A and B are shown apart, each in its own frame.
Chain A
């Protein structure tokens, strides 16, 4: 055991990983899709963290954004529609040393995977969850998603969607054991980078809603926020997402917000006149499920055989 461990730490120090070590095949999203920027940001954050590619697993569901693992050269799991989170949890459950990323979308996470979303927040397993929210189903060609604004004309609602859009931030902030909730927009690369980096560093389920443009099906669905930057609300705080002057200069509307303040976070999330950007809530001390699920991994075969025999003894006659 000593030899293996010694070799391993030596290895870590000697290897240096570049962005190329995390980047995979050529991304096949449409030109102008917000996903491209998120992908390169993930590559950069991986490079910064220097976790070996073989220890990194990118998990996804089904949808445009769920193609992300194919554009990584780490391990990956392109699963089923809605099921990225429980698959990622299973990966983490007995292998807590693996660095797990989840790429999911508004349909994948908030609709078909809704039940898993609620419970993933509650399990709080250590993983970085990026929700690419473009307010539309893209891969299946323009159907209404839970976050489509009311009145949006889609192929399932040609005269305009009939329900008000769901607010994923208020939902997430309402779940017991929530530990990290941030929101960011894809058209602000420096803020995107800082947010994903902070999410990756958090120990627990980091939930990042990325407002992401789909120029093909709903070009301009976030137009009001792009055209009028004062509608974006930058959240800053010494415990929030690090914001330097260059970033701060881009936001006309700002507010100091302590991310440990849940009630303020909920107020911010509820006010839909402004789109908050930054860290809404952070609790670094929430219990992490994989601390429990990974117990007992170090047991020897000898101990296990003794354990099974002890269990059998209870039924011996």
Chain B
């Protein structure tokens, strides 16, 4: 279909938008062309209109990969719904692309289906380089073969009527197009643009408004797709905020009363610290950028030892470097909050992509027995609230607490209920009263392993914290009895915490054929897959764990009501049908390994390491495959 044909067709298009329930939109470009800004603004406007929204960024590993590079796609996906949206969904319904090459990696990732509408910048068709003309023509033919419905649009040509350099500004034109196509509130969008460029002033705001309006007009005249997605919930019914998961972590750190974050730059964790560096002064906090990951952890431990529980935010490789110090925090019983925004591993792995690969290394990746608390938020709102809980648990149980998020939560943007901030969330002032000299620094309670902690400045509490085996008085001790006893007490704290946890709720019926167990960012996709399976008449339910150490109680009983239990995770496990794989040598996914040991039940698993968030469709198919074998 040529541009002209599109125009002819759309001239006949309806002037009344078609009502739909949900839609998945992607905008992809070369790095630096602003596709993400376009999508974020679109998502924000939609959130303000009361729609369910989930946005996820498509990020290349390089800052400026070569232009028109098939692997260099930079962009954003927005899933827009009438209802609350919990995940990125399956294939996109429509994609706007600034060049054809960046689409290849998306196609490889299964982002599109036959019938996906592609609105493609057409300037490459007449590029001065014949090679590029050919690439473009070949790609368009190939996309059509794949079943994509391709429309070639003169986006750049239109932008040139307004600005000299359309590379900066094309994104606002596309934003205008999308706002018309999906009946977005124009004033809200213009206000968002003004806010984005507020620091740069009217000289920058004006052309961006012009580009937006031109895009809007262009779509009205030339594009046949015209929809309306009415929000189910009433706008403004509940105070709402919209952030990504890393920002939510940053806000949670502030609301937890922790006033020190010690970090070293690492993708995809760093944006949480960037955010804090911008706003931490509002609560008197400080971001310390250390010389390396090890120092970042040591610095946080020092602060915690001195009375102010601190936080360190990192990703897998950083966790590996910190592990000796994390063992020290366990041994010395130092409260500490560690956020691991997981990415693909091992080694440097996939820095910008999602994986849930650090569960076992967090749990066991230290010498000796190092019991600790591990939590995994499943939503962006939980990213906020879990930091507050983590700080309290760290202090009450005198232990490091780990929060495992991932690249999907880190960059996913979703509206959620605005937290009602309470002074009770903040840390108490440091105790500087006299310490009873008769109470040793590790006065372990026989039943719980818990003990109060002297803080420097408390007269009478002077002790030397050591990473060596030590007595209740923190005196170095190498004898058998002391070591056995102190290990026992540190472990007992986990049992004490487990005793306070609630039995988790099953999503769906409490009994059936298959129970799908997940953790972390996959909850929305798993539950959507379960909904589809149940709609199809299958007896499938799911369970999502938030505490991984200690485990939430009652799992064996819950599991016992299903014919089969399987985890769905984003980390590597062997395909049971793969060559050489037997029941004896099959390597399971990480939560599955833990659950098998924990429950002594034959917990199965399905997991992949595509570096992409799990889609409901792929989970649906995987569980269906297991169901077929079951019956």
**Residues on A facing B (Cβ under 8 Å):** 24-25, 52-55, 57-59, 69-70, 72-80, 83, 85-95, 97-98, 115-116, 118-119, 292-299, 301-305, 307-312, 315-317
Contacts and interface: CB of A to CB of B under 8 A. Distances in A.
Given A74-B462, A87-B298, 16 more contacts: A55-B456, A70-B464, A72-B464, A76-B464, A77-B305, A78-B465, A87-B301, A90-B262, A93-B288, A94-B303, A95-B308, A95-B457, A115-B291, A296-B285, A303-B284, A317-B48
B379 interface: no
B625 interface: no
Interface string B259-281: 11010000000000000000101
B286 interface: yes
Contacts of A59: 302
B197 interface: no
Interface stretch (B57-65, B238-246, B400-408, B551-559): B238-246
B465 A76 contact: yes
B234 to A, nearest CB: 13
Interface hub of B283, B299, B302, B460 (most chain A Cβ within 10 A): B302
Contacts of A305: 421-423, 426
A183 to B, nearest CB: 24
Contacts of A57: 306, 456
27 contacts: A25-B475, A54-B456, A72-B464, A73-B462, A75-B456, A76-B462, A77-B305, A79-B467, A90-B306, A93-B302, A94-B286, A95-B430, A115-B291, A115-B292, A118-B291, A295-B286, A296-B283, A297-B284, A304-B254, A304-B257, A307-B283, A308-B254, A311-B282, A312-B418, A312-B421, A315-B241, A316-B241
B305 A295 contact: no
Contacts of A86: 290-291, 294-296, 298-299, 302
A94 B459 contact: no
Contacts of B288: 93, 293
Contacts of B259: 94, 296-297
Nearest to A314: B279
Lowest 5 A-B CB distances belong to which pairs?
Answer: A90-B302, A296-B284, A307-B282, A76-B464, A86-B298
A310 B430 CA distance: 25
Nearest to A289: B288
* Most chain B beta carbons < 10 A, residue from A90, A118, A303: A90
A74 B460 CA distance: 9
Given A87-B302, A90-B302, A299-B284, A119 B295 contact: yes
B399 interface: no
A317 B53 CA distance: 13
Nearest to B188: A317
Given A83-B325, A91-B306, A54 B283 contact: no
Contacts of B241: 312, 315-317
B47 interface: yes
- Most chain-B CB neighbours within 10 Å: which of A83, A85, A116, A293? A83
Contact of A89 (B279, B299, B328): B299
A92 B260 CA distance: 12
Contact of A80 (B292, B325, B430, B457): B325
A57 to B, nearest CB: 5
A81 B307 CA distance: 23
A296 B324 CA distance: 31
Contacts of A78: 464-468
Contacts of A89: 298-299, 302
B19 interface: no
Contact of A90 (B305, B418, B460): B305
B464 A293 contact: no
B255 interface: yes
A305 B419 CA distance: 11
Most chain A C-beta atoms within 10 Å of own C-beta, residue among B251, B296, B305: B305
Contacts of A91: 302-303, 305-306, 456
B461 interface: yes
A118 B290 CA distance: 12
A54 B239 CA distance: 47
Interface string B154-197: 00000000000000000000000000000000000000000000
Given A293-B286, A316-B418, A301 B426 contact: yes
Nearest to B458: A54
Given A57-B456, A87-B298, A115-B292, A94 B47 contact: no
A118 B458 CA distance: 32
B457 A54 contact: yes
B325 A53 contact: no
B461 A54 contact: yes
A79 B241 CA distance: 42
Interface string B297-331: 01111111111101000000000000011001000
Contacts of B242: 315, 317
B478 interface: no
Contacts of A310: 282
